[in-house]
Amino acid sequence: MSRSLSYRFLHCALVAIAVAVTSTWVVAQDDDADVQVDIDAVVSSEDSSSLTRVGDLSSVPAPDLQARAWLSLDVNSGQIIAAHRSHEQIEPASLTKIMTAYLIFDALENQRLTLEDEVNVSEFAWKTEGSRMFIKPNTKVTVDELLRGMIVQSGNDATVALAEAVAGSEPAFVTLMNEEAARQGLEDTNFENSSGLPGDTHLTTAYDLAILSRNLLQDFPQYLHYYSEKEYTYNDIKQNNRNRLLWTDETVDGLKTGHTESAGYCLVSTAKRDDRRVVSVIAGSESDAERTESSLKLLNWSFQNFDTIQLFEEDHPAVTARVWEGEEDSVGLGVTGPLWVTVPRGKGPDITPVANYTQPLMAPLTKGSEVGSLSVSLDDKVLREDPLHVLADVEEAGLFGRLIDKVRILFD
């Protein structure tokens, strides 16, 4: 066998052995990061059975809530704080309009609609059952007015008129709703209509509603003001926002109520205190007063007993990893956005971030490539786990540089 073939065989064998070695690094917090709060984190694995909900580590238990299902979510970190029957399918009633609004906001941002556009009210929209804005058939109403009718007054007629404006018909719009639900990973959600009227397969879960609400808040914050309006008058008919928390807590600025006889009284609420935002989901309460009281209890408990702190700023490396056969000897690995974690109050200094990735890292490497995971633990319980990405491109070294590394890897 020639010297060159022998060398290549030895090199491949060594790489095959090395590639099975996984490096685990306990990493330090970003000392320069702001410990207050704000923004985005990955949610896709937050409800994994291998993770511990932070509420389970609190010395103060969750309040006793009068609801069939409930959930509390920290918007900044994306972590579920605590939940009860959160994956049990329920009727969303008018909470359906959160998805409808998401698609309307998306149409506005992509200039398929404007707030000044006038929508012709169809007979079909006018005849929609349930709560109403009291628009009249064959008249023109602006998108801005219809949004207030849908969000503040919970008008089913306004909702269908908006659905028709975007998709041409409500059935076509419902197809878009279900496609968007799939895109967001809302696995237990299916819509039959845009307004929330009961249907045999018109179902969702408290978990899916929380994720949808977080996405709406993060993707379209410029439209949140609609949800904090306490009343709206159209056609000389004034209707109050059904979210009573707008009157009882000034930090609450949304989000949506729902009620049918079969669904019970439901409320997705959100509040911002300092720089931290929380979403609560209450489903299946027996009265308006009950859903309001339970929502406030859950919000207060979530704010008072937990902190959300920043571990790393955007594109800040969690660990610096050795790179083989590259123009650079090392590269930063981390998450692509700011990383926040929610912990029981006062427990921030006790968290342990751990980077797990497979060695050797061989050039070329592309920025954004996933090479492992970053987990955050407290008291040996994993609170969250996020993909670990390469934070910069690393080009392959020249022939001489690669040869040197092929020798070095034998002794590393």
* 222: three-class secondary structure by DSSP: helix
d(CA 175, CA 172): 5
Options 94, 122, 131, 280, the catalytic residue: 94
- The alpha carbon of residue 8 and the mean position of all alpha carbons in its chain are separated, in whole angstroms, by 48
Residue 390's nearest CA partner among 327, 329, 339, 318 is 318
Question: Residue 408: left if φ>0, alpha if ψ -120 to 50, beta else—which one?
Answer: alpha
Burial of 412 (0-12, 13-18, 19+ CB in 10 A): exposed
β-strand 361-362 against 319-324: which pairing, if any?
A: parallel
Tell me whether residue 94 is one of the annotated catalytic residues. Answer: yes
Count of C-beta atoms within a 10 Å radius of residue 1: 8
Options 77, 122, 131, 154, the catalytic residue: 154
β-strand 264-273 against 252-260: which pairing, if any?
A: antiparallel
> Which residues have CB under 8 Å from 267's CB, separation 6+?
243, 245, 256, 257, 258, 280, 281, 282, 285, 291, 292, 295
* 391: three-class secondary structure by DSSP: coil
Tell me whether residue 154 is one of the annotated catalytic residues. Answer: yes
d(CA 217, CA 81): 18
Options 58, 86, 97, 375, the catalytic residue: 97
| Token couple for 341 | 């974690």
Amino acid at 278: V
d(CA 62, CA 81): 10
> Which residues have CB under 8 Å from 340's CB, separation 6+?
37, 38, 39, 41, 74, 76, 77, 78, 308, 309, 310, 311
107, 273 Cβ separation under 8 angstroms:
no
Q: Which residues are catalytic, by number?
A: 94, 97, 154
